[in-house]
Structure 1
Amino acid sequence: MKFLPRLVRPADRPTPVDAPGWVARVRSGTLPPQEVRQFERWLAERDENRRDYDALVAQFLELDRLRSHPEIMALREEARQAPRGKRRLAIAAALGLLLTGAVAAVVALDLLPTSSEQRASVVTAYYETPEGKTSAIVLPDGSKVFLDASSALKASMGETTRRIELLSGRANFAVAKDRERPFVVMAGGQRIKALGTQFDVNLVERTVELTLMEGHVVVQGLKTKSDTASTVFMRPGYRLVAGDGNWTLAPVDLRNVSRWREGVLIFDEARLGDIVAEMNRYLPAKILIGTPAIAERRMSAVLRAGDVSTFLSAIDAMGVARWARVSDGEYRLLDIARERNLNARLR
């Protein structure tokens, strides 16, 4: 008689009784509502439960950080591309670089191929820049990324695809050619697919700005409840602005597009809200907008990144808004017309 394995539904799974079991279940991302309540009760039962759980989570976070180390990523990419006979040597080199003991054993499970070679390994790393600092990054596949200040992205390199998620801020991509693995950037609900090309992606409040310098890209808007999917095939010298269901494609002067990499910010009849959002990437003391009407006003300017005094002087001289320092050291933009009306009523 042949025995077949019983299919286990989520409701049939045994409830974890210790920290390792709950860590595994939570990290799997498959916790139904009833198990969430069981997990919360287990945490509240004993102080030791929470301490054990927090300690294990901290160890996994450290493992994730080590996996994302650029040198480890580069060596793992070499292991992926190496001939099968040399792959284990390349993997050993990656492990020996930073990891020892139990940590190396855990990461090795993620690196070594399965016997059937069917599971595609994915190498994931997170990159983030603080305010006022930019960063030049070389991804394991050879693609280059220039990450603006106060920006973050997640890069996942797999056997069949290269996927980047721009989480915040702006990045310039110079994509290494690899026809076997499309290079896809996800940003603000837009999917940007490229092969060998160079482009800027900028997240500004509710919109995504994509400027193409070289090559070709295909941009697809992901379906939402309020918007249908759209697709645009872009060519160099154009900028796509997508947000709130509206797409605008227009030619741009490529000589000024990437000046931000040199610390120069160029605005042409831009919304004041967008200008403030870009300036704040470089400022420890942020600029606040007093009323929504101010954010919709437009102006043109050429500014040095972080030069808040020139920016504030310009909006004051042009009559766009007034500004004041608030108690916590930040700057607040005030509506001139509103101030005049208020002063007139107080007289």
Structure 2
Amino acid sequence: MSTPQPAQAPTAPSTDTDDVALDWFVRRAGGSLDAADEAALQSWLAADSAHAAAFARHQDDWRILDALPADGVRTLKQNLADDRTASAPTVPRRRAWWRGLALWVPQAAVASVALSVVCGGYLAWNHWQQQPVFTQQFATGRGQQLEVALPEGSHLRLDTLTRADVTMYRDRREVRLPQGQAVFQVQGDAARPFDVLAGPLRITVVGTRFSVRHTPDVPGREGVHVAVEKGRVRVVRATPSGGGESPVELVAGQQISSDRAGLLGAVSVVPAAGIAPWRESRVSFDDVRLDQALAEFERYGPVPLTVREPAVAALRVTGTFNPRRPDNFARLLPRVLPVQLREREGGVEVVHAAR
């Protein structure tokens, strides 16, 4: 039996099974088959199992196309348009065939053809887009700080005991902050948003300067804190449980904190000490428990002070101090709190003054 050929094809149909199947599929998807054409198609499919298999492959491609995001379809159409304008004699025969096809089938059908034949289609393009162009991990030890210049012009400053995992893609920039705190000075690029992932939060910017703190192991500071010095950032819970929540927009001079689960508190004003006093070797406490203040000092180096009494640990501290001089902090404590210092083996204990 001779192979029935599609009627009214724009060029002579190919004898290759896959090309014939593609011709049939596109014409049917475009709604151009009449009853006689449909009968001819069914006869062709029944003539050889390879015909049916080839036709089924193009149907699967169509279903993949239906699942593509809008930007992927736009890219496929652009690829197709680029191929339609190619005039080099080396353009493959199949591409030359579907250059004419674009004139008489719906754009969605054209895109599905492109999916099958253009450089691996959208799936290959999307895989290429998702490959990092730069990746590096930065970390600081106890008491260290680090300045980092990223290849696209942004800068990071990492505080003590901080880790930042940087990954740059072609369409976005991403920094994961598993622990610690950092100041970000982001190079503006509207085509490549800059995301900071800290615990349960995602902080997104285009160009600005802000700080993020994520110290899940520090008592009283287990959540995430974001403060903006310049520009604007968007903060939202990134975990699945945060679906449907509206992001919070912060502008210069504003800050916000979350709990460990990512529940955001109220927006407040950045204190006079700034978004990151640690840049000037300062830590600021605003009505903070004494044991939590000592834990903050411990992030920068050994602290020879201990607190065993719950009532003493709960006393509140306010002020700005040098984290590398805990001895100065210790001398000030008896002047501002009802405590005294007792020499113990291996260090000093802070006890209640009444003892």
1:284 is aligned, of 302, 307, 316, to: 302
CA 1:182–1:307 in 2, change beyond 3 Å: closer, same or farther? Answer: same
Q: 1:305-320 counterparts in 2 under 5 A?
A: 305-319=323-337
Structure 1 residues 99-145: Cα deviation after superposition (integer angstroms, max 9, x where no partner): xxxxxxxxxxxxxxx99554232132111111111111111221101
Specify the SS of the correspondent of 2:167.
strand
RMSD, matched Cα? 3.3
Structure 1 residues 19-64: Cα deviation after superposition (integer angstroms, max 9, x where no partner): xxxxxxxxxxxxxxxxxxxxxxxxxxxxxxxxxxxxxxxxxxxxxx
Question: Residue 178 of structure 1: CA displacement?
Answer: 1.2
How high is the TM-score relative to the length of structure 2? Answer: 0.56
* Cα distance in structure 1, aligned partners of 2:301 and 2:277: 18
* Cα distance in structure 1, aligned partners of 2:276 and 2:195: 21
Match of 2:253 in 1: 237
The answer on whether the counterparts of 1:214 and 1:236 sit within 8 Å (CA) in structure 2 is: yes
Match of 1:214 in 2: 230
Flag as ranges the 4+ runs of structure 1 deviating above 4 A: 1-4, 114-118, 223-228, 285-289, 291-296, 320-327, 329-334
The answer on whether the counterparts of 2:171 and 2:192 sit within 8 Å (CA) in structure 1 is: yes
1:265 is aligned, of 266, 270, 283, to: 283
1:302 is aligned, of 320, 326, 335, to: 320
CA 1:318–1:219 in 2, change beyond 3 Å: closer, same or farther? Answer: same
Question: Residue 264 of structure 1: CA displacement?
Answer: 2.0
The answer on whether the counterparts of 1:209 and 1:242 sit within 8 Å (CA) in structure 2 is: yes
Match of 1:121 in 2: 131
1:143 is aligned, of 146, 154, 171, to: 154
* Cα distance in structure 1, aligned partners of 2:241 and 2:313: 27
* Cα distance in structure 2, aligned partners of 1:169 and 1:287: 23
* Cα distance in structure 2, aligned partners of 1:180 and 1:227: 25
Question: Residue 298 of structure 1: CA displacement?
Answer: 2.3
* Cα distance in structure 2, aligned partners of 1:240 and 1:320: 32
Specify the SS of the correspondent of 1:257.
coil
Question: Residue 219 of structure 1: CA displacement?
Answer: 0.3
* Cα distance in structure 1, aligned partners of 2:211 and 2:235: 13
1:182 is aligned, of 193, 212, 230, to: 193
Gaps of 5+ in 2: 1-48, 55-119, 216-220
CA 1:215–1:308 in 2, change beyond 3 Å: closer, same or farther? Answer: same
Question: Residue 240 of structure 1: CA displacement?
Answer: 0.6
Tell me which moved more, 173-182 or 118-127. Answer: 118-127
The answer on whether the counterparts of 1:256 and 1:266 sit within 8 Å (CA) in structure 2 is: no
Larger CA Rg, structure 1 vs 2:
2
Q: 1:1-347 counterparts in 2 under 5 A?
A: 118=126, 119=128, 120-122=130-132, 123-204=134-215, 205-223=221-239, 229-244=245-260, 245-253=263-271, 256-285=274-303, 290=308, 296-319=314-337, 329=346, 336=352, 340=355
* Cα distance in structure 2, aligned partners of 1:321 and 1:207: 30
Matched residue count:
229
How high is the TM-score relative to the length of structure 1? Answer: 0.57
CA 1:197–1:316 in 2, change beyond 3 Å: closer, same or farther? Answer: same
Gaps of 5+ in 1: 5-113, 341-347
Specify the SS of the correspondent of 2:235.
strand
Letter in 1 for 2:235: V
Letter in 1 for 2:174: R
Letter in 2 for 1:217: V
Specify the SS of the correspondent of 2:274.
helix
Structure 1 residues 163-204: Cα deviation after superposition (integer angstroms, max 9, x where no partner): 111121110000011111110011121110011000011224
The answer on whether the counterparts of 1:127 and 1:153 sit within 8 Å (CA) in structure 2 is: yes
Structure 1 residues 237-296: Cα deviation after superposition (integer angstroms, max 9, x where no partner): 011121153513111245533331111222232343442332112113576553666555
* Cα distance in structure 2, aligned partners of 1:224 and 1:289: 40
CA 1:125–1:170 in 2, change beyond 3 Å: closer, same or farther? Answer: same
